[in-house]
């Protein structure tokens, strides 16, 4: 397939909106949508989180997403690829990231969305710091 998927990428300082994301990727040509929503947990290693603080290297994040998008297009030919990531302070219960894929078949959508999240965690230049009541700590990635 040579059709280009639609790509929606945003780094946002305001709350992420699942409905907006889903309507970006929805089309009557597409049967399957997989949406990943990553929220902030109130406990990290048993300690109460006050908030997370995210920062990003946005221009590079955009280039990394282009690289990832090219791989996803080759492997799964989806109709749409979306990644919205929050930066700044994000409280427990709030959404930190939404990744979404629309495709013809559900296997494509599940695999592509899972891969997009794996690659986000592996290479996209975004960092988070956990802020506790008694201190703060930059998060080192878990594989």
Contacting residue, 8, 12, 38, 127, with a second copy by CB under 8 A: 38
**Residue 128 forms beta bridges with which residues?**
54
Instruction: Work out whether 26 is an interface residue with a second copy (CB under 8 A).
Output: yes
Determine how many CB atoms are found less than 10 A away from the CB of residue 103: 26
Instruction: Work out whether 50 is an interface residue with a second copy (CB under 8 A).
Output: no
User: β-strands 80-86, 6-12: how paired?
Assistant: parallel
Q: 42, 93 in Cβ contact below 8 A? A: yes
Instruction: Please tell me the distance from the alpha carbon of residue 41 to that of residue 22, in angstroms, as a whole number.
Output: 23
Sign for the CA dihedral angle at 64, 65, 66, 69 comes to positive
Instruction: Work out whether 43 is an interface residue with a second copy (CB under 8 A).
Output: yes
Q: Which stretch binds a second copy (CB under 8 A): 38-46, 64-72, 82-90, 127-135?
A: 38-46
41 binds, among a second copy, other proteins, none (CB under 5 to 8 A by kind): a second copy
Instruction: Work out whether 36 is an interface residue with a second copy (CB under 8 A).
Output: yes
22 binds, among a second copy, other proteins, none (CB under 5 to 8 A by kind): a second copy
Contacting residue, 5, 16, 24, 33, with a second copy by CB under 8 A: 33
Instruction: Please tell me the distance from the alpha carbon of residue 57 to that of residue 67, in angstroms, as a whole number.
Output: 15
């Amino acid at each position: 397939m040579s059709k280009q998927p639609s790509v929606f990428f945003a780094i946002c300082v305001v709350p992420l909106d699942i409905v907006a994301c889903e309507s970006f990727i929805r089309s009557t040509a597409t049967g399957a949508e997989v949406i990943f929503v990553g929220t902030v947990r109130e406990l990290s290693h048993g300690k109460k989180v006050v908030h997370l603080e995210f920062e990003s290297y946005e221009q590079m994040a955009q280039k990394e997403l282009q690289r990832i998008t090219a791989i996803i297009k080759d492997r799964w030919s989806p109709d749409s690829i979306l990644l919205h990531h929050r930066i700044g302070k994000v409280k427990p219960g709030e959404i930190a990231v939404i990744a979404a894929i629309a495709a013809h078949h559900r296997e494509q959508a599940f695999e592509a969305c899972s891969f997009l999240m794996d690659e986000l965690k592996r290479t996209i230049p975004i960092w988070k710091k956990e802020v506790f009541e008694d201190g703060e700590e930059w998060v080192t990635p878990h594989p």
